[in-house]
Structure 1
Amino acid sequence: MELLKEIEQAHKRIRDDIFQTPLIYTNWLSNHCNGDVYLKLESEQITGSFKARGSLNKLKWIQEQNLDSLPVTASTGNHGLGFARACDLLGIKGKVFLPHNAVVSKVESIKAFDVEIEFHGDDPYTTEMYARKTAEENGWIYVSPYNDSQIIAGQGTIGIEILNAISKPDNILATVGGGGLISGIGAYVKEQSSQTNIIGCQPENSPEMSASVRAGEYREVESKPTLSDGSAGGFERDSITFELCKKLVDDFVLISEDEIADSIRSMIKHHSKLIEGSAGVAIASLLKQPERFADQTTVIIVCGANISEDKLQSVLCD
């Protein structure tokens, strides 16, 4: 399997420049489901998200291919931050396109790294379409947050770290947006531990991938506001992650906004860990259906910690 080889290459390529994040046993969730539950804390990754892996792998790969075109991306959040950090680390020029109404704190985080920033449009979709068009017109390399085999391979290195610690987990839960995270982890884990269930977790307010996989074809679904902004929105119709999710994901769980908020509060209460909404989706999936994880070993991907101040206040004051 070509993707498996790319994941193994990615692991060698990036392991010295990222954190091997903690995999901790959680008494709280283990007791809740009468099983053994572990949290893979990508919330403690460099830049506060798993996105640091894929971005770094892609940009190192570009260097290896001796491509001298400017790498660019469009992102208001974790992908843009991971991309900016990778450019800065590697000493290469890069450009991040942002909408004019991007959250100030996220803009400042990206500005902390040595990348060029250009503002265009008032929503992420408009900004992305402009960035893609501008990249094509100038012969630049557009770096997708998920629709790219090198990005997926970078995220798949999480699977290597999990199986190095727990050889055959019964379940792995991961939040799904564009599908890069679960595609990478699923591709590696299924090859090494075929009986492991890969469970995709999505907010009820933004379920495009699960709706499409269940239908067996691309389905455009309106995305409503959600605390899980890191997974919000749809995916490209021709994204390679769609076929991977159809093949690798065994089931999907949909989570309400109240359930996301509760999981964020509970992580603070039980583990003193601050997480973002998309990480809360995966945790809430086990809290919602504890009986299905009884007497099993389950790993939950805690994908990020970058929650905005206003969202955190809304959760804590609810």
Structure 2
Amino acid sequence: MNIYDLVNEAEQRIRPYIYETPLEHSPYLSQVIDGEVHLKLESQQRSGSFKYRGITNKLLSLDETVLEKGVITASTGNHAGAFSMILSQLKRKGIIFLPENVSKAKVESLQHFDVELKFYGKDPIETELEAMRFAKENDLVYISPYNDPYILAGQGTVGVELGRQLEEINTVIIPIGGGGLISGIAGYFQGFNPKTEIAGCQPINSPVMYESIRAGKIIEMESLDTLSDGTAGGIEPGSITFDVCQDLVKDYILVSEEEIKQALKLIIEKHQMIVEGAACLSIASLLKEKHKFQGKRVVLIICGRKISLEKLQSVICN
């Protein structure tokens, strides 16, 4: 699989549908590492996260007869929001499987679209497996939030924009859930500028990709509650993202819930932005391992903005 070529094809396919998101310099974080830190604001992408890129690429690649029949996906929220928005643009319908504990804010955002919502399981991997079973039983196409070359390639278009926006990036720090975003960006930079290092970050409460890499295979493990709900949960068996992460991601950083909370407070105070917990993983990782990034030019991927008022209040008021 040549990810670099797939990403460039995706860039041509989806460019009319997506925003080129801003790259914002952070004077505060730059001072922290005595280097240069920029925030890639995928929180300002259509639908509120990078997920819009991948699902747009996938849906535009499907035959019209498939779209007319209807498609199915599973999501913790952001992929579902992107799926709903692009389906609405294409005037097609779909079904979304969600975990029973998905955030209220993400569910409410989906209710504005003509999609059917089904709730199953507590861990996202349970939800994904049930969605796949349902799709097979009803002869419909299931679209994975990450285990799909078209999804991966769409997310990788973030890398194309970074290549246009900033020269000679030393490190890109990227949140990891199922691994679609980091796989796409890492695969693109492998062809564009292999000197750029790719670092992945996960919450200590749900480090499934990290532990799978350590084990040399995709493992099942319990995920605890985390502010980074967008990256929480298991990985689909046989996911293509595992091999990419194993080959191209050389550094993994795990952060605590307190470190995520402090990162969220920081971005509100220093950048006047409200983002979701998963978007704070890259900031928390930079602060935790700041000695690694001294004097470097670093990009932090701010992956999404959807956070409930209740969750935001719990962070700010504690």
Pick the TM interval, shorter chain: over 0.9
Q: Distance in 2 between matches of 1:72 and 1:178?
A: 18
| Matched residue SS, 1:17 | coil
2: distance between equivalents of 1:102 and 1:185? 27
**Under a length normalisation based on structure 2, what TM-score does the superposition of the two structures give?**
0.95
SS at match of 2:172: strand
1:68 shift after superposition: 4.7
Q: Which amino acid aligns with 2:169?
A: P
Deviation at 1:107, TM superposition (A): 1.9
Q: Quote the offset at 1:281 in angstroms.
A: 0.9
Q: Is residue 76–residue 107 contact of structure 1 (8 Å, CA) maintained in 2?
A: no
One-letter amino acid of the structure 2 residue matched with residue 138 of structure 1 = N
Is structure 2 residue 316 aligned with structure 1 residue 316?
A: yes
Equivalent position of 2:257 in the other structure: 257
How many residue pairs end up in the alignment?
A: 318
In the aligned structure 2, how far is the partner of 1:210 from the partner of 1:234?
11
User: What's the CA shift for 1:145?
Assistant: 0.6
Q: Distance between the aligned counterparts of 1:149 and 1:65, measured in 2?
A: 21
Tell me how far 1:163 sits from its aligned partner: 0.7
TM-fit CA distance, 1:119? 4.0
**Partners of 2:124 and 2:234 within 8 A in 1:** no
Conserved 8 A contact 1:275-1:307: yes
Gaps of at least 5 residues in structure 2 are none
In structure 2, the partner of 1:291 is 291
Tell me, what secondary structure is at the counterpart of 1:156?
Answer: helix
Q: Structure 2: which amino acid aligns with 1:223? A: S
Q: What value does the CA root-mean-square deviation take over the aligned residues? A: 1.7
Three-state SS of the structure 1 residue aligned to 2:62 is helix
Paired residue type of 2:26: T
* Structure 2 match to 1:33: 33
Q: 1:27, CA displacement in angstroms?
A: 0.3
Residue 62 (structure 1) aligns with? 62
2:275 maps to 1:275: yes
Matched, 1:148 2:148: yes
Q: TM-score, length-normalised on structure 1?
A: 0.95
Match of residue 16 from structure 1: 16
Q: What is the DSSP-based 3-state SS (H/G/I as helix, E as strand, rest coil) of the residue aligned with 1:174?
A: strand
Q: Corresponding residue for 2:235?
A: 235
Residue 95 (structure 2) pairs with residue 79 (structure 1): no
The answer on whether the counterparts of 2:36 and 2:297 sit within 8 Å (CA) in structure 1 is yes
Q: 1:236 to 1:101 in 2, by over 3 A?
A: closer
Instruction: After superposing the two structures, state which structure 1 stretch, 9-18 or 97-106, moved more.
Output: 97-106
Q: Deviations over 1:152-191 (max 9, x none)?
A: 0110000000011123210000010110000000000121
Equivalent residue for 2:177?
177
Q: Kindly indicate whether the alpha-carbon contact (under 8 Å) linking 1:167 and 1:193 is maintained by their aligned counterparts in 2.
A: no
Displacement of 1:105: 2.9
Q: 1:26 to 1:118 in 2, by over 3 A?
A: same
C-alpha distance in 2, partners of 1:290/1:123? 32
1:116-147 CA-partner distances (Å, limit 9, x unpaired): 33344566444333321110011111111111
Contact persistence 1:20–1:161 (CA under 8 A): yes
| Unaligned stretches of 5+ residues in structure 1 | none
Distance 1:252 1:127, change over 3 A: closer
In 2, Cα distance between the equivalents of 1:255 and 1:103? Answer: 21
1:139 counterpart residue number: 139
Counterparts of 1:101-120 in structure 2, within 5 Å, are: 102-120=102-120
Compare 6-15 and 107-116 and name the one that shifted more: 107-116
C-alpha distance in 1 between matches for 2:278 and 2:190? 23
Amino acid at match of 1:308: S
Q: Give the letter for the 2:282 counterpart.
A: A
More displaced 10-residue stretch of structure 1: 259-268 or 70-79: 70-79
Please, which moves more after superposition, 115-124 or 169-178? 115-124
Look up the SS of the partner of 1:16 in the other structure: coil
CA contact (8 A) 1:147 1:241 kept: yes
C-alpha deviation, 1:205, in angstroms: 0.7
